[in-house]
Amino acid sequence: MSENLDALDARLLLLLTDSPRLGVLECARRLGVARGTVQARLDRLTERGILGGFPPELDLAAMGYGLTAFAVLEIAQGRRAEVAEALSAIDEVCEVHATTGQGDLFVRMVARGNDDLQRVIDEVVGVPDVLRTSTSIALSTPVPPRVRPLLERTARG
């Protein structure tokens, strides 16, 4: 059963979003609650699958992957799991979403440049059961991936 976050959960997640390296004791101090309360909340958020870990925020462009592209894939019916597994073996494929509408899968991928993107697209098209693709290159990211507004709303109550 899925239960909603409460204001303390949201405040804790906001704190960890801003400072992911904070320890439990420092979180408790900043939130004005007991250390045990913070630890219990973190344990519960992890058990519920809301908190999956604390990965570092990476700048892919600074790592040499300055080009982001999105592809809509049409695939053979009933082959989503197999295609998704094959796509996950392509290092430059960052995310795959099953979708409704024109295509079946929405893929975010990165590349070092246009020539490298062509190589990545060729790998994607080479996946068995991928029937058709349509790729768009991202020119900028005016709204990056975010959850902060949802957490702030919940923290306000």
Q: How many CB atoms lie within 10 A of CB 73?
A: 24
Contact 69, 94 (CB under 8 A): no
Q: In terms of CATH architecture, what is 7-56?
A: Orthogonal Bundle (1.10)
Contact 82, 52 (CB under 8 A): no
- Listed by start position, the domains of the chain span 7-56, 61-138
Per-residue pLDDT of the chain (157 residues; tens, 9 = 90+): 346 899 999 999 999 999 999 999 999 999 999 999 999 999 999 999 999 888 778 899 999 999 999 999 999 999 999 999 999 999 999 999 999 998 999 999 999 999 999 999 999 999 999 999 999 999 999 999 899 999 999 999 8
Question: What is Dmax (Cα atoms) for the chain?
Answer: 56
Tell me the whole-structure pTM to 2 decimals. 0.83
Domain 61-138 carries which CATH code? 3.30.70.920
CA atoms within 13 A on the CB side of 26: 7
- At 8, list the tokens: 């303390």
pLDDT of residue 54: 80
- d(CA 108, CA 114) in angstroms, rounded, equals 15
